[in-house]
Structure 1
Amino acid sequence: MSYNEFIAEREKIDFLLERGYQIVSVHEDLDGAFVLFQKAEDHITLHIQTADARKYFSVKLLR
């Protein structure tokens, strides 16, 4: 995975968090992580594939 792919995934994560979404669940497998974001009744799932983006959302989750 390239640095540009990480940046794109990081921007998607930041965009959702800035809009008030919260991470409610994470399912990881060999293809990456499926992160479920929720805001009220709205749900969005992101497929995170880069290792750096997986570390990034983990840090955000712990905050």
Structure 2
Amino acid sequence: MAESKKFFAERDKIDYLLQKGYRITGVTENVSGAFVEFTKTDSTKEKETLHIMTADARKYFSSILLNKQKF
């Protein structure tokens, strides 16, 4: 799969979880990418973890984190 297709797939997964009411609550980076932890903001506190491998998707979730801090 082309790198851009991988990025779009990872970006769509991130956007899907954010639209479903999840927030990024943790990030663990290593040589194989980043493991991004999402926690649902409602009373269930459900957790999901995505393994983000592309550099562009790591930049994407980083920009989301930085924009959230401004508010």
TM-score range, shorter chain: over 0.9
Equivalent residue in structure 2 for 1:53, among 57, 60, 64: 57
Q: Secondary structure at the match of 2:47?
A: strand
Dislocated runs of 4+, deviation >6 Å: none
1:21-36 equivalent positions in 2, closer than 5 A: 21-36=22-37
> How many equivalent pairs are there?
63
Under a length normalisation based on structure 2, what TM-score does the superposition of the two structures give?
A: 0.85
Give me the identity figure in percent: 56
Q: Deviations over 1:23-48 (max 9, x none)?
A: 00000000000000001420000000
What residue is the counterpart of 1:11 in the other structure?
Answer: 12
Q: Between Structure 1 and Structure 2, which shows a larger proportion of strand residues?
A: 1
Gaps of 5+ in 2: none
Question: Root-mean-square deviation (CA), in Å?
Answer: 1.0
Unaligned runs of 5+ in 1: none
